[in-house]
Amino acid sequence: MDFFPVFFDIRGKDCLVVGGGEVAARKVSLLLQAGGKVTVVAPVLSATLALWAEKKDIIHRAERFSPDTLGESILIIAATDDMEVNREVSQFASARRIPVNVVDNPALCTFIVPSIIDRSPVVVAVSTGGAAPVLARLIRARLETLIPSAYGRLATLTARFRDQVKAQFLAPEKRRIFWEHILQGPVAEMVYSGQDQAAEAALVRELSGDIDKTKPQGEVYLVGGGPGNPDLLTFRALRLMQQADVVVYDHLVSPAVLDLARRDAERIYVGKERSNHTMRQEAINDLLVRLAQEGKRVLRLKGGDPFIFGRGGEEIETLSEHGVRFQVVPGITAASGVSSYAGIPLTHRDYAQSCVFVTGHLKDGSINLDWNGIARENQTIVIYMGLQGLAVLCQELIKHGLKPSTPAAIVQQGTTHNQRVITGTLATLSNQAEAAQMKPPTLIIVGEVVKLHDKLAWFHPGQYEEGSIIPSFVEHN
């Protein structure tokens, strides 16, 4: 180890920054966050620093650095672009045994500043000893994605109960077990999902011993898995996917996304393709309740967003009726993911000021939609589940006032490496889709914005050849 890692308490203490540019400003910002009393020595200040000086967040001494400036500082940072000044600061500070950091110059430093992941009061610091600051930043970026942003709130909550827990569990071993249970269990989950009051109440119950430990505490995570490309998952989705005991998923979830669930989690396929209703909705609802009541952490993984044509609402209604805890994680819905990857903005100042999402699912061979509300000028229409009824959909839109020449697109398996986009008009799209043998899942976009595809298409996943690429969506039979 080239450096000894420590965390300084600088609250209310004098810290000196030499230099008035943006680099200095970044360091000043960190010092201020940690409660330091910051003096900046520089003939002129950058806009950011000038603002802070005006607000009296910092003290500005408009002069060049001189040894007298050191004053009572407990640490010093030199961030000027003048090597001579930096060296001078380093020398004088070292001579007076004041810790000194010269930005980007480890040789002149007695301490270095790490990359920081701030979940105050939890702080993670990463350092490569000055060898590769960019690497430290990359490591930091990875950690940022792994550590839930609510860790700080969780730590604050546990701090409030520390003494009480200490008094109640005299043996350190018992305390450790208690805290591990809290930090890895439902209390922590409640904090992560923003239910702080419920978390505190649960912690109090745990302490009072009111909880029946023989009754397992399951939970359901209703998670949106996005339109297929695993890059489009949220951090929270990924975290919950990796801690679930059992995964309940349907055909819209791509294997690449499913792959990210915990390796040893049990996987239950509950299907639902048009003609092949593997499990009725009521049975799925009951299954979720049963698994949670067995004490399992159940990941209900859905394509896109669970609250958009996903029947997620119905599933959690049943859970709530049975008193099963749940949390909902939004996902990128097909309309938004697929349109981005197809280069078709859903709104545009010149072409569309509104956008509607509708389902083209046929019921008894017909489609019941508010056609007059949908078929409007300057409005983009996104149709989910519309492949089978495509011909009827196009006819109805024309019948209700849209021009046959209105641009329209159909996108198959959008966002994945099997994405196919076909553009045409309301008059032609149905025949084109048939000729191209489009298969679900497909999304249909109607409106002038479709014209932008030619100019804005940016995602070119390679020519689609039937059978030549591993399909992103497996056919389940």
Minimum distance of ligand SAH from residue 451's CB (angstroms)? 20
State the catalytic residue, choosing from 250, 296, 302, 305. 250
Residue whose C-beta lies closest to ligand SAH:
304
3-class secondary-structure state, position 132: coil
CB of 12 to ligand SAH, least distance (A): 51
CA dihedral 442, 445, 449, 451 (to 10 degrees): 60
User: How many CB atoms lie under 10 A from the CB of residue 196?
Assistant: 15
> Alpha-carbon distance 352 to 307, whole Å?
24
Closer Cβ to ligand SAH, 50 or 260, answer by number: 260
DSSP secondary structure, 265-305, as one string = SEEEE---BTTB-SS-HHHHHHHHHHHHHTT-EEEEEESB-
Minimum CB–partner distance for residue 344 and ligand SAH (Å): 12
Q: Which amino acid is at 107?
A: A
Cα Dmax for the chain: 88
Find the shortest distance in angstroms from Cβ 400 to ligand SAH.
21
Q: How far is the CB of 415 from ligand SAH (least distance, A)?
A: 5
Nearer to ligand SAH, 186 or 414 (CB): 414
Tell me the C-alpha distance between 369 and 144, whole Å. 44
Shortest spacing between CB 260 and ligand SAH, in angstroms: 16
What are 409's strand-pairing partners? 423, 445
Of 343 and 414, nearer to ligand SAH (C-beta) is 414
Residue 203 or 358 having the CB closest to ligand SAH: 358
Q: Minimal distance in Å, beta carbon 473 to ligand SAH?
A: 8
Question: Among residues 270, 292, 269, 294, which one has the least CA distance to residue 282?
Answer: 270
Q: How far apart are CA 398 and CA 390, in angstroms?
A: 12
Find where tokens 């994945």 sit.
Answer: 416
In the complex, least distance from residue 416 CB atom to ligand SAH, rounded to whole angstroms? 6
Q: Between 186 and 228, whose beta carbon lies closer to ligand SAH?
A: 228
Rank residues 71 and 462 by Cβ distance to ligand SAH and give the closer one.
462
Burial of 415 (C-beta count, 10 Å sphere; 0-12/13-18/19+): buried
- Joined together, the tokens standing for residue 420 give 């196919």
DSSP-derived 3-state class of residue 17:
strand
Element (H, E) at 118: strand 115-119
Query: Has 37 been annotated as catalytic?
Result: no
What's the 3-state SS for 400-432? CCCCCCCEEEEEECCCCCCCEEEEEECCCHHHH
- 127 or 327, CB closer to ligand SAH? 327
Q: How far apart are CA 476 and CA 272, in angstroms?
A: 9
- Indicate which residue of 13, 57, 272, 286 is catalytic: 272
Identity of the residue, 360 or 407, whose beta carbon is nearer to ligand SAH in the bound complex: 360
In angstroms, the CA 92 to CA 80 distance is 16
Residue type, 355: C
Gyration radius from the chain CA atoms: 29
End-to-end CA distance of the chain: 57
406 or 413, CB closer to ligand SAH?
413
Per CB under 6 A, residues contacting ligand SAH are 227-228, 252, 302-305, 308-310, 333-334, 338, 384-385, 411, 413-415, 440-443
CB of 338 to ligand SAH, least distance (A): 5
What 8-state DSSP symbol labels residue 396?
H
Q: From CA 476, how far away is CA 273, in angstroms rounded? A: 9
Across 257-266, b (16+ Cβ under 10 Å) vs e yields bbeebbeebe
Q: Are 308 and 333 in contact (CB under 8 A)?
A: yes
Question: Is 272 among the residues known to form the active site?
Answer: yes
Active-site amino acid positions: 250, 272
